[in-house]
Every structure is written in C-alpha cells, then in structure tokens.
C-alpha cells in the first residue's frame, strides 16, 4: 500500500470526511509533511471506492459546492489493520537493530 493510500484510509478511520477534510487531516497527521493534491487524492479515493475499501457516506452542498463524505468499509478497516501490522513489524525490526548498534557505536561521530 502506498503512503497516500494509507494516509487517506487513516483519515477516514476516525470519521467520515469529505475530500478537503481528508487533505487537512493528512496534513495535520504528518505535521505538514504530506499535503495531498487533488489529483492524487481523487486517484486514491476512486481506486479505494472501486476496491470497496471506502464508500460514500453522504453528500452536502456547502456554499453551492458539492461535498461528498467518504467512510471506511469493513474491508477498508481490515486492509488498514493489516497494513498497520506490517508497518509496525517493520518499524520494530528497524528499532531493534538501531538499538543493537548503539552500544557498539557508543555515540559515534556523525
């Protein structure tokens, strides 16, 4: 799973969100590191919808603009959980190895 996809699913895991809210949430989650652009966001949303990982929650018109809210489906929840597990395992391995390096390096010069 690519990072934008993972982040979009994570944004929708909290509550149903519309497109711009997803962008804002992803930006907040990553401390401003990832600012999804419309093309990337809708490529991910369209694919996730076709794959059945998200679905349309509701539609609203705010200031004559269409806002479509998306929510995570059961399949989306499982997919996000599986990806989270995978990332956690990898992070744990990396962490263990980094910790193992520390005594041998002992505050090595940069």
Partner 1 sequence: MTELTSGSIGAVRRAVAAPESGGGVGMTVLERRYRRLLRVYPAGHRAAYEEEMLGVLMSGAEPGRRLPALADVLDLVRAGLTARLGRASLTQRGMGWRDAAAVTALLAAIALAGAAVTTLTSGLVVWARGDRMSAYGVDGLMLADPTARAVIWLLVVTAAVLGLRRMTMVLAAVGVLVQAGVAGFWSGLLPGPALFAAQGIVLAAIVTGLSAAASGRTARAVLGARGLMLLAAATVLAALTRAFDWNAIAPEPLITSPYLPHPMLTEMMGFWLPGLVVAAGVWVTGRGVRGRIVVLSAVLYIILAAVVEVAGSVTVGIHSGFDMSILGQIVLTALLPVMVLAAGVTGLLVWERWTASRSLRRLGATE
In the complex, which residues of this chain contact partner 1 (CB under 8 A)? 18-20, 23, 37-43, 45-47, 49-50, 56, 59, 61, 64-68
Q: Quote the least distance from Cβ 74 to partner 1, whole Å.
A: 20
Tell me the closest approach of the beta carbon of residue 18 to partner 1, in angstroms: 8
Write down the least CB distance from residue 77 to partner 1, Å.
21
Structure tokens at 26: 């992803």
**Cβ closer to partner 1: 68 or 102?**
68
Instruction: Give the DSSP letter of residue 59.
Output: E
How far is residue 84's CA from residue 80's CA, in Å, rounded to a whole number? 6
Which among 10, 58, 34 is positioned nearest to 1, based on CA atoms? 10
In the bound complex, what is the minimum distance in angstroms from residue 43's beta carbon to partner 1? 5
With respect to partner 1, which residue has the nearer C-beta, 7 or 45?
A: 45
Sign of torsion, CA 46 50 53 59? Answer: positive
Measured from the CB atom, the residue of 42 and 98 that comes closer to partner 1 is 42
Structure tokens at 11: 């944004």
Instruction: Considering the complex, state which of residue 7 and residue 18 has its C-beta at the smaller distance from partner 1.
Output: 18
What one-character-per-residue DSSP string does 83-100 give? HHHHHHHHHHHHHHHHHH
């Amino acid at each position: 799973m690519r990072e934008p996809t993972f982040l979009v699913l994570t944004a929708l895991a909290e509550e149903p969100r519309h497109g711009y809210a997803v962008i804002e949430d992803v930006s907040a989650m990553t401390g401003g590191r990832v600012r999804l652009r419309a093309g990337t966001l809708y490529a991910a949303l369209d694919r996730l919808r076709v794959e059945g990982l998200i679905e349309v929650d509701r539609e609203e018109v705010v200031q004559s603009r269409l806002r479509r809210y998306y929510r995570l489906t059961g399949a989306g929840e499982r997919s996000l959980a599986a990806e989270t597990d995978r990332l956690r395992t990898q992070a744990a391995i990396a962490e263990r190895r980094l910790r193992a390096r520390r005594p041998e390096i002992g505050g090595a010069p940069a």
